Structure 1
Amino acid sequence: MYVYSYSKMQLSDMDHSYAKICIIIDIYIYIYIYIYIYIYIYIYIYIPHSTSIKT
């Protein structure tokens, strides 16, 4: 998402620090996506297996 703007904004120090913030935001977005994927895997795979073992 922000990689293109990062390569575009390497002109001054202010633009460089702003691009670093954009990269950090992009990393956090990917971390949240992976967290949601793990939550969905836990809900739809692990919990039905545990309930089927109990019954």
Structure 2
Amino acid sequence: MPAKTGNQGELLFYKKGRTVDWRSPELEKAFPPDAIFSVGRWVVGEGSVPKR
């Protein structure tokens, strides 16, 4: 689904040292994210992303 106003989205976080093939058609399955933020809450990895 394209990103546009009104659509909900998820932010996927990956640790800096990981090797990830960003062109992978199944990115989340092949390279599970370290943290996911969706609709105002942490679905996976709360506390693993530093707060500023």
Q: Report TM bin, short chain.
A: under 0.3
Larger radius of gyration: 1
TM-score of the superposed pair, with normalisation by structure 2: 0.23
Structure (1/2) with the larger helix percentage? 1
Higher strand share: 2
